[in-house]
Amino acid sequence: MLRLKAEWESQKAVLLAFPHEETDWAQEGDLQKACAPFVRIAQAVAYSQTVYILCRDREALSDLFCSKQNLTFIETDYNDTWTRDYGPLSAEEDGNPLLLDFVFNGWGGKYESSLDNAVNRTLHRKGYFGTTPMRSIDYVLEGGSIESDGAGTILTTSRCLLNPNRNGETSKEHVETMLSETLGARRVLWLDHGYLAGDDTDGHIDTLARFCDPETLAYVRCEDPEDEHYEELNRMEEQLQNFRTVEGAPYRLVPLPMPPAIYDEAGNRLPATYANFLITNRALLYPTYESRSTDREAGEIFRELFPDREVIPIPCSRLITQGGSLHCSTMQIDF
């Protein structure tokens, strides 16, 4: 039997890719400053588990760390830093670990992605995943576009998985068949509403609603009727209220606050969200956006949701300038 693991299950490593001179981060003019949030994430994870760091110059990058414990620097080629969407998915088949390597096409051809798309095969060939087999699948799917409860339920959005810029014109029935065959999905919960302004991913689920355990979903709520997200996110909330667990019970729904609107230098709103958190073996890392009230509120919610994990805030204002946040920058791997 095949199943996609849940994020709260055991992990061997977390994969990150640091900014280099050929990424969009170089436009900021100071790559060392651009690396700052990635250093914070890596150090927060590394105190309890291995971190794989993709880079161009191992020696120069390692100097940014006060401690290199549990850090593995891997020199390789890649286009950008969003490993959530091109890193391998961790699954099990008949109780044995299996890694899944889907096609990554730069969120529907928006960005060059050929080097990102080759990363998993390179790491596997070089032995970084041990003897765990990896299955390459000729289908476009990003890790940030799906959520798994570890027991056969996949949560996703129709805005992303039905977008013809991924796999051409398709239907929910066809996608569900593919998810069943490739991930072992027994059922798919579709969100047809919800979006964040400035989002290049066409509605990744990891910016909107997340499994915290098999019966609990944390999601973004908008309470300001004047906010452009108000109507769509309220419709999304209504859909979540109608979802049922495998046992037929309503999910425990935990609303997350929306941070105050953040804009880039051109005045475009950025897709800041507290739903972009990362679960590791011993910690819960969540993004903060220099908003004392909502940052604190989100932290209190996560401490209640994950009482057995250390809750660690990670400043992500610099990350969001490039359109992503904490979860987007990481991929947990079990092998």
pLDDT at 30: 75
Two tokens, residue 5: 């693991």
Q: How far apart are CA 199 and CA 273, in angstroms?
A: 11
**E strand map for 83-144:** 89-93, 96-103, 134-140
Which amino acid does the sequence have at 283? A
204: nearest Cα among 138, 147, 274: 147
pLDDT at 32: 84
Two tokens, residue 204: 């990744």
Interior CA angle at 65 toward 63 and 69, to 5°?
Answer: 115
229: nearest Cα among 246, 214, 207: 207
DSSP for 48-90 reads TSEEEEEES-HHHHHTT-S--TTEEEEE---S-S-HHHHSPEE
CATH of the domain at 124: 3.75.10.10
Which amino acid does the sequence have at 48? S
Query: Which residues does the chain have with pLDDT short of 70?
Result: 29
pLDDT at 295: 98
91-104 pLDDT tens trace? 999 999 999 999 99
Q: Could you tell me the CA-to-CA distances from 44 to 16, 49, 101, 283 in Å, in that order?
A: 12, 10, 26, 8
Contact 74, 20 (CB under 8 A): no
Domain count of the fold of the chain: 1
Find the length of the chain.
335
pLDDT at 31: 84
| Torsion angle, alpha carbons of 172, 178, 181, 184, to 10 | -60
pLDDT at 27: 79
Q: How far apart are CA 214 and CA 174, in angstroms?
A: 25
Domain that holds residue 158: 2-333
DSSP, res 247: T
